[in-house]
Amino acid sequence: MSQDWQLAELLENLHADVQHKLSTVRKSFKHTVVKGDGAENVWVDLFNQYLPERYRASRAFVVDSNNKFSEQIDVVIYDRQYSPFIFHYAEQLIIPVESVYAVFEVKQTINKEYIEAARQKVASVRCLYVTSLPIPHAGGTYPAKPPLAIIGGLLALENELQQLKTLESHLEQEKNGAGFLNIGCAADSCFFFHDKTSHKMVITPHSKATTAFLFELLAQLQNCGTVPMIDIHAYGKWLS
């Protein structure tokens, strides 16, 4: 029995759905905080619907075993397969840094100011201390994994910096710093990512920017592999 579905149509509808939801949030919600929360929820829902079950996306703080906390992060993509604990406190989610794959700042638009804000949020996570233990298995023990290179990015409905060279110059700043942005998306026009082969920022105008961005994010998450084995006792010391 033949199907009337077309893959191109499915991908187009995914992009159109996200862009419509972001546009509706922007037009319908007048209060800045409510508008921001609404946009964050659109991206969180997208990730939780389309990323594999091993991943979860939420608004959260990130903590390390030295009792240092990140700023509040609009979207954290974290592990739920191997993470032994996630804290829920006073309606806030607190995630150990060892469990984090990616962090994103969410804004209505991309401009120089918001790129800097995203860098600050990303850096507040990447600067945390990551524990890692050897991983036991049936044949012995795998050595402790090095910390993941946490993905950091910026998500928005639109791009104010229509000159792509201008956007590229802002994104290329702090290239080796803790706040460097690996990836991002302006749903109405383009997505960007740092290409590890050419060591350059690739900015791609795209009529289905959200879907193209999601595919690139999935590829980067695949390259991350699995989170390191967390040192539970390093956190447990705070019980005393």
**Residue positions annotated with a catalytic role:** 74, 105, 107
Q: How far apart are CA 83 and CA 54, in angstroms?
A: 10
Measured between alpha carbons, how far apart are the two ends of the chain, in Å?
65
**Residue 161 burial by Cβ neighbours in a 10 Å radius (0-12, 13-18, 19+):** buried
The DSSP call for residue 223 is: H
Place of tokens 């608004």: 59
Provide the 3-class DSSP secondary structure of residue 53: coil
- Got the DSSP string for 90-138? TTEEEEEGGGEEEEEEE-SEE-HHHHHHHHHHHHHHHTS----B-EEET
Report which secondary-structure segment, H or E, holds 239. none
3-state secondary structure 140-182: EEECCCCCCCCEEEEEECEECCCCHHHHHHHHHCCCCCCCCCC
Instruction: List Cβ neighbours of 106 (8 Å cut-off, separation of 6 or more).
Output: 36, 39, 40, 43, 74, 75, 154, 155, 156
Q: What is the CA radius of gyration of the chain?
A: 19
